[in-house]
Structure 1
Amino acid sequence: MFDRTLLITTIAALSWILSIFPNSCTNAQLVNGAFLPLFVDPQPDCSGWTFATSPISTAPIVKVFTVIKPPALGHKPPKSYQTCIPPLIAAGTQEEHTQLVHLLGYVDTQQGQRNPQDVQKDIKTYAGWEEAYRPEGIYFDNVPATAAASGSGYSGEGNLDLYEGYATQVRELFGNTSLVVLNPSTLPDPGYFTFSDLIITVNEDYNTFK
């Protein structure tokens, strides 16, 4: 079951990673914030997300990169998501209109083995949502850490080329300020840092990570 811990600090490892590969990280930046995989249904009254919106609204001091994972993707998200995403984003908006909640759409890539057309379709689906509940970018889960392909039956290109292509599509559809987040759950080849904004190297909550 999903661990309802708001401040998940996998992003905290990024400063250490960037110190190792300073010359390779042309796009990735040092980021202070929280990472929230919001993989629970919000419920029609949004009560399923109260555990997240309440802390964000009472202490909006850090960026919260929030991943949503609807049960099924379509030209619109489920009604509960349409209803609950706007107040979630608003909970992290400060008086000076600084937005602290950054919404990301979940896309599984199956270690590079998923059909690229299916991945691209998911990206396009999120990009087609109405602005009120449209993500700012994509969270790619289950990303391989290596640069070389591992024998995918769908593509002969290397992993770096494959994922850079996904990142390019995100920025074409969502805009140049969109977010590309990768989750290899370990330290990846430094080439991934040249086209991503954030890379998740540890899947643990704060108490475990520290």
Structure 2
Amino acid sequence: MFLLLVIATVLTLASTVISTGLLIPLYAWPGIDAWNTIYDSIAAHPSIPFYLIINPSTGPGNTEYPEDVFITAIAKLNSFPNTKVLGYTYTKQGTRASSEVEKDIAAYANWDTYEEQNIRLCGIFFDEAANGADPSKLAYFQKLSRKSKSSSLSTVVFNPGVKLVADVAKWFAAADFIVEYENTYANWVARAPDEHFSASGHYGKDAVILNLTPENADIDDVVQLAKDMGLGAIYLASDGNYMSLSTVPKVAVAVAQSRSARQGARPIVQLSIENS
């Protein structure tokens, strides 16, 4: 006679917490109190990663360090442990001279030498990225990624704004996140979510940015869907040029609620003991 222990474990979707973050184009000028909504949301949700894209002058600008207003604002962002500040640059789908993009990378990296306050950046947001249709562009972006990471700007984000069409695994290997959807809220909800992405195996490194989000939009539903899919980062903006920060608190609360729901769940373990 012996005991045969059969353990069947049923795991719910909520048993694993995926750290979906907020990827926010922080393009509004950081004047007096202009970024307070950002600071307040970051402080209120310390478990959520905030990836914040700053853009002083369609890139870092032509001075050694940014203007004082940016220095103060970036230093405040860096005072929070759950933030990563990314510098904006653009690539024109890989047609901009790589040397020019590398100058932007070097300029952002140099901010780490500023001694009076901490304005160090954590990475680069490469806007207007290619979508893989032209295979020759992959090497261009791989080179930029290596340049960024070797400059201690280790978080690399490519933004084609549409799903990749070729060499998907190689593109995702070169980046920490790829924005495969940057378009309107209306276009997002008009199609099945998986139609916006190239491959489900890369959802954890996928980011989505919805704009022109209506005031009555179901932000909670969109965020919960992103969490269920395991997307790496999400943001919903009310406008098309990202000057308004009015939706930041709503999106942050939705992400926090989704995280709490997942953290609260536990695996269900069933034990069956059979004698013979």
- The match for 1:32 is 20
Q: For residues 168-179 of structure 1, what are the structure 2 equivalents within 5 Å?
A: 168-174=146-152, 178-179=154-155
Residues 1:104 and 2:86 are matched in the alignment = yes
Q: Paired residue for 2:51, among 65, 85, 90?
A: 65
Post-superposition CA distance 1:89-134 (Å, at most 9, x none):
22xx3xxxxx211110001111111111111100110001136112
Amino acid at match of 2:55: K
State how far apart, in whole Å, the 2-side matches of 1:128 and 1:41 are: 21
Cα displacement (A) at 1:66: 0.5
Match of 1:113 in 2: 95
Q: Secondary structure at the match of 1:201?
A: strand
Q: 4+ residue stretches of structure 1 with deviation over 6 A?
A: none
Distance 1:147 1:124, change over 3 A: farther
Identity %: 26
Aligned length in residues? 162
Please state whether the residue corresponding to 2:35 is helix, strand or coil: helix
TM-score normalized by structure 2? 0.55
List per-residue Cα deviations over 1:39-88 (Å, max 9, x = no partner). 01111x4x111121111112222101100000224210111111111112
- Compute the TM-score of the two structures, normalised by the length of structure 1: 0.71
Largest Rg, 1 or 2: 2
**Counterpart secondary structure, 1:200:** strand
2-side partners of 1:159 and 1:169: how far apart? Answer: 16
1:89 corresponds in structure 2 to 78
Instruction: Give the aligned residue type for 2:121.
Output: P
- Work out which of the residue numbers 177, 184, 197 in structure 1 matches 2:176: 197
* Distance (Å, rounded) in 2 between the aligned partners of 1:100 and 1:123: 23
Is 1:144 paired with 2:130? yes
Task: Please state whether the residue corresponding to 1:165 is helix, strand or coil.
Answer: helix
In structure 2, what is the Cα distance between the partners aligned to 1:185 and 1:208? 22
The structure carrying a bigger strand percent of its residues is 2
Letter in 2 for 1:174: S
Indicate how the Cα distance of structure 1 residues 142 and 208 shifts in structure 2: closer, same or farther if over 3 A, else same. Answer: farther
Give the superposed CA RMSD: 2.0
Q: Which ranges of structure 1 fall in alignment gaps of 5 or more residues?
A: 1-29, 94-98, 150-157
CA distance in 2, matches of 1:86, 1:172: 23
Is the 1:147–1:160 contact (alpha carbons within 8 Å) kept by the matching residues of 2? no
Question: Does the 8 Å CA contact 2:112/2:121 hold for their aligned counterparts?
Answer: no
